[in-house]
Amino acid sequence: MSTDVRAAPAKRRLGAPYDLLLFAFVVSGLGNWIYRLALPLMVFELTGSALNTAVVYALEYAPLLLLSLPGGVIADRFERRRILVVGDLAATVLAGILALVVTSGSSSVLLVYLAAFLLACVEPLYYPAFQGMVPDLVRDKDLERANAWMQMGDNVMSLAGPAVAGVLIAAVGYQGAIWADAGTFAVSALAMVAIRTRSKPPAAQQEGTEPVRRDLLREVKDSLVHITRDNRPLLSGAVLFALANLGTWLVQANLVYYLSDYQSMSPALIGVVFAAQGAGAVLGAAVCPWLGRRFAPGRVVIAGTVLAGAGIVLLIPLRDVVSISVLWALIYGIGTVNMVSWFVLRQRTVPPQMLGRVVATTRMIAFMSIPVASVLGGVLEQRWHNMYLIIALAGGLRLLVGLGALLSPLNSSAGWRNPADS
């Protein structure tokens, strides 16, 4: 008697160009975290002022709102690989100049502010080109896996990046850390140069002709028309993320304070909770391809929003570090699934020649609520002195947003690829 045992097929590699893009993304992400930690600490050491230190964070966030739309237009006008190379080289030069200034012994806070702003200006010009390049390097059926690895890398850097930056600052000082920062961007640029992909700008890829040059406002208007008229699931998703971020950041901005003051956790235990975020991100990324084969990405986002809202509410009765860490890991895992599903939905439903603009526009809409929520969370805590009420409000808002999205165009089969068609 014989049996027919078929081994499960090995997972297909996504290819050397994608591997280089992922490597460059992780390395440049490390560079971002180094300066995001080093510059506020430098200002605090120079001034001793919490307000002056907070200005650094404001300057690092402002370019996202100011330059996202122009960044999307640039990503659709020019070859995306070259944009990424130029962006990394610009960050290398800026970080190198700042390192020279710090090494010279300068104590100018204004120069640190200027460096923080200029370095942050690179990211909104860089990100739309990066997101638009992923579909150029992998097959459509592999988008879930490709985006999952990218999101996993991003989450791991958000966990490991500050730790690496702290070790560098302690070991070699601010100047050494910033020199290392410049080096990460240079390495990322070299990896981007090694990628071999399409040479034409995205607008030319569609019709095989040179892209038509139009004014900035017209190109931005085209992306808005696409979202509001032609691709309503994307508008629904951007609004959902904006409202969900409002709820999430009411808690996220106060999490260290909550764990320290309300739960009396030591810095070491708080570190355990934040480390759980990385573990949750890895778990979420691992299940993304499985979910992508079975459910439409918009529906995954809706379900994830509801589950994350419920998870935030469940934080209220928990008191020990283990249960809080496990729950926070699950919330972050759901967040990773949501982000990957959102990336896939955009990449599959937006024409390549306007993908950069649509990425920039929807990202700007989704992120606009974060600074509002961060400030609002602090104000509410000062007025109410009741983080449990704020957590309930945040979780309830996410729940309502997710349930309301069931009636929106996001609850459709848009962006889903039937595995039988592979």
State the DSSP string of 159-195.
HHHHHHHHHHHHHHHHHHHHHHHHHHHHHHHHHHHH-
Q: Which of 118, 127, 102 is nearest to 60 (CA)?
A: 118
Do the domains at 16-198 and 216-416 have one common CATH topology?
Answer: yes
CB 361 within 8 A of CB 224: yes
What mean pLDDT comes out for the span 179-193? 94
What mean pLDDT comes out for the span 247-257? 82
CB 327 within 8 A of CB 39: no
Distance set, CA 373 to CA 92, 295, 367 (Å): 32, 31, 10
Report the sign of the C-alpha dihedral through residues 132, 287, 336, 119, in that order.
negative
DSSP secondary structure string, 298-320?
Answer: HHHHHHHHHHHHHHHHHTTT--S
Q: How would residue 326 be classed by pLDDT, with cut points 50, 70 and 90? A: very high
Is the model more confident about 45 or about 231? Answer: 231
Is the model more confident about 8 or about 77? Answer: 77
Terminal-to-terminal C-alpha distance of the chain:
34
CATH for 16-198, options being 3.30.70.980, 1.20.140.10, 1.20.1250.20, 1.10.3720.10: 1.20.1250.20
Question: How many residues belong to the chain?
Answer: 422
List pLDDT tens digits, range 131-146.
Answer: 889 998 998 889 998 9
List pLDDT tens digits, range 82-125.
Answer: 999 999 999 999 999 988 888 887 778 888 888 888 988 998 98
User: Is residue 246 over pLDDT 50?
Assistant: yes
Residue 278: half-sphere exposure toward Cβ, Cα within 13 Å: 14
User: Is residue 209 over pLDDT 80?
Assistant: no
List pLDDT tens digits, range 343-391.
Answer: 999 999 999 989 999 999 999 999 888 878 877 887 888 889 899 999 9
List pLDDT tens digits, range 284-316.
Answer: 988 999 999 999 999 999 999 999 999 999 999
What phi and psi values does residue 394 have, to the nearest 5 degrees?
Answer: -65, -45
Q: Which of 116, 120, 119, 132 is nearest to 84 (CA)?
A: 132
Average pLDDT value for the chain: 85
pLDDT of residue 8: 41
The type of residue at 340 is V
Please state, in angstroms and rounded to a whole number, the distance separating the CA atoms of residues 31 and 98.
14
User: Is residue 408 over pLDDT 50?
Assistant: yes
List pLDDT tens digits, range 9-47.
Answer: 445 678 889 999 999 999 998 888 888 778 887 887 888
Q: Which of 135, 25, 128, 28 is nearest to 70 (CA)?
A: 128
CB 281 within 8 A of CB 150: no
Give the residue extent of every domain in the chain: 16-198, 216-416
Q: How would residue 4 be classed by pLDDT, with cut points 50, 70 and 90? A: very low
| 107: number of Cβ within 10 Å | 12
User: Is residue 399 over pLDDT 90?
Assistant: yes
Please state, in angstroms and rounded to a whole number, the distance separating the CA atoms of residues 405 and 419.
26
Please state, in angstroms and rounded to a whole number, the distance separating the CA atoms of residues 148 and 154.
10
CATH for 216-416, options being 3.40.47.10, 1.20.1440.230, 1.20.1250.20, 3.30.230.10: 1.20.1250.20
